[in-house]
Amino acid sequence: GSRPLYLGIDFGTSGARYALIDKQGAIHSEGKRTYPAVGQTTNWASSWREALFQLLGDIPSVHQPSVSSISIDGTSSTTLIIDRNNGELLAGPFLYNESFPDALPMISSIAPANHTVCSGSSTLCKLVSWWNKHCLNGGDDSAILMHQSDWLLWLLHGEYGVCDYNNTLKVGYDPETGSYPSWLMSQPYSHMLPSSVRAPGVPIGPIKEDVRSQYGFSNDCVVCTGTTDSIAAFLAARTTDPGKAVTSLGSTLAIKLVSRVRVEDARFGVYSHRLDDQWLVGGASNSGGVVLRQLFSNDQLVTLSRDIDPSSPSPLDYYPLPKKGERFPVSDPDMEPRLEPRPDSDAEYLHGILESMARIEASGYKLLKELGATPVEEVFTAGGGAQNEKWTAIRERVLGVPVWKAEQTEAAYGAALLALRGATTGS
């Protein structure tokens, strides 16, 4: 085929997926790979690299010559320290959920109060923790920081220092001014930060010739900046007007709302990503599918849901959590899970849990509004819970706005849209 196609690859928590789309957004091919096991001689980075090249090889050969651009998303704040002299991994990967509270006192002393970097798992904490251990007595100028998607994209284009303004948020970059703040630039490790921070989905450069020829991609195939996995999943829903939102009902319950106003509140873990001229405000509850998974198999969820009447409110008032502690929409590290009383009927139990999660979701949107965000008008749904039509109906009643299943929910599809954008809008 001579028609150009655009490749998006998502590096999520459990595996990597690709989606290959055309200009209209139709999917021509998709696939996934789980990460090869990490063992004594391998690490996460080599496992991701293997998955990346396996996926490139998985693209049907009939489509490979049509691949015109590539973008990749990765888990936010997943961090690698790389030697820019030879591309070797010096430290990490530090995974998205790894916490380095040892760096917090130093960061709190330089960053504004409640800044998103003031969290033990922020990229900046990872960087500072590493710096304190290795470079306090004179650093090595060749060490640089890369996010997961920077590194994977770098394997394809080979240029150092390029990143996007979504991934850099948690290292302290200010997407509003388009620069690192002075409190960060004055630090001795500032030379490690990505030097060229761009919008997601803009061309970085041509794909390396050896990679291009190995997979037979288009002669003018370009590699484009990526984003984080949750932004990519949001982009997949293709809804970018203020007031539109995407709730992700995966392991956790996460909401993302397009807002005219930038909103931040570290107490609740609420922060805004830039989305062109708007802001994407997000918050994530610890409640979510992980609790459902502890109680029911996916088959049971389907069967039990059949017996739920979504138009009648459940009288059961739970706060489903996998373990102690909640952050959004209630900031309470000591909050205990509440999943009792358990009725005899499993369908009634499930109804109560789904309805309670819908109330958490509604409180989430309410909190964002109170913090100054554009009020929610319409919600699209992603994640495993989006399949559940009964839950959708319950949520519509509780939220009081239209709720839909997003047509596309894969982060890989969102990354493919970035690739499309990069190939068709120019730099």
Closer Cβ to ligand ADP, 14 or 41, answer by number: 14
Which range binds ligand ADP by CB under 6 A, 44-52, 195-203, 285-293, 415-423? 285-293
**110: number of Cβ within 10 Å:** 16
- Out of 292, 368, 403, 418, the only residue in the binding site for ligand ADP (CB under 6 A) is 292
Could you tell me the smallest distance in angstroms from the CB atom of residue 282 to ligand ADP? 15
Is 225 within 8 Å of 200 (Cβ atoms)? yes
Nearest residue to 423 (alpha-carbon basis) of 275, 166, 152, 204: 204
Residues 6+ apart with CB under 8 A from 309: none
- Under a CB-based contact definition with an 8 Å cutoff, are residues 19 and 8 in contact? yes
- Report the C-alpha gap between 301 and 308 in whole angstroms: 11
Contact with ligand ADP (CB under 6 A) among 106, 118, 290, 347: 290
Q: Which residue is nearest to ligand ADP (CB)?
A: 384
Q: CB within 8 A of 271, min separation 6: which ones?
A: 116, 169, 263, 264, 265, 281, 282
What lies within 8 Å, CB to CB, of 230 at 6+ separation is 76, 248, 254, 256, 282, 411
Residue in 42, 97, 114, 298 binding ligand ADP, rule: CB under 6 A:
298
Q: What is the nearest approach in angstroms of ligand ADP to the Cβ of residue 354?
A: 7
d(C-alpha 371, C-alpha 190), whole Å: 32
Stretch that binds ligand ADP, among 25-33, 81-89, 159-167, 295-303 (CB under 6 A): 295-303
Question: Is 320 a residue that touches ligand ADP (CB under 6 A)?
Answer: no
Q: Which of 4, 92, 194, 289 binds ligand ADP (CB under 6 A)?
A: 289
Q: Which of 293, 397 has the CB closer to ligand ADP? A: 293
Residue 188 phi, psi dihedral angles, 5° rounding: -65, -15
Nearest distance in Å: CB 298, ligand ADP: 4
CA 410 from chain centre, in angstroms, equals 11
The H or E element that residue 389 is part of is helix 389-399
Considering beta carbons, is residue 298 or 345 the nearer one to ligand ADP? Answer: 298
Q: How many residues bind ligand ADP (CB under 6 A)?
A: 15
According to the binding rule CB under 6 A, does residue 301 interact with ligand ADP?
yes
Q: Does 225 bind ligand ADP (CB under 6 A)?
A: no
Cα distances (angstroms) measured from residue 172 to each of 183, 313, 383: 10, 43, 29
The token pair that represents 338 in the structure block: 């509440």
Binding to ligand ADP by residue 251, rule CB under 6 A?
Answer: yes
According to the binding rule CB under 6 A, does residue 250 interact with ligand ADP? yes
Q: Does 405 sit near ligand ADP (CB under 6 A)?
A: no
Q: How far is the CB of 294 from ligand ADP (least distance, A)?
A: 9
The dihedral built from the CA positions of residue 408, 413, 418 and 419, taken in this order, carries a sign that is negative
What part of residues 360-389 is at the interface with ligand ADP (CB under 6 A)? 383-385, 387-388
**Angle at the Cα of 413 from the Cα atoms of 410 and 417, rounded to 5 degrees:** 145
Q: State which of positions 129-168 bind ligand ADP (CB under 6 A).
A: none
**Contacts with ligand ADP, residue ranges (CB under 6 A):** 250-251, 289-290, 292-293, 298, 301-302, 383-385, 387-388, 391
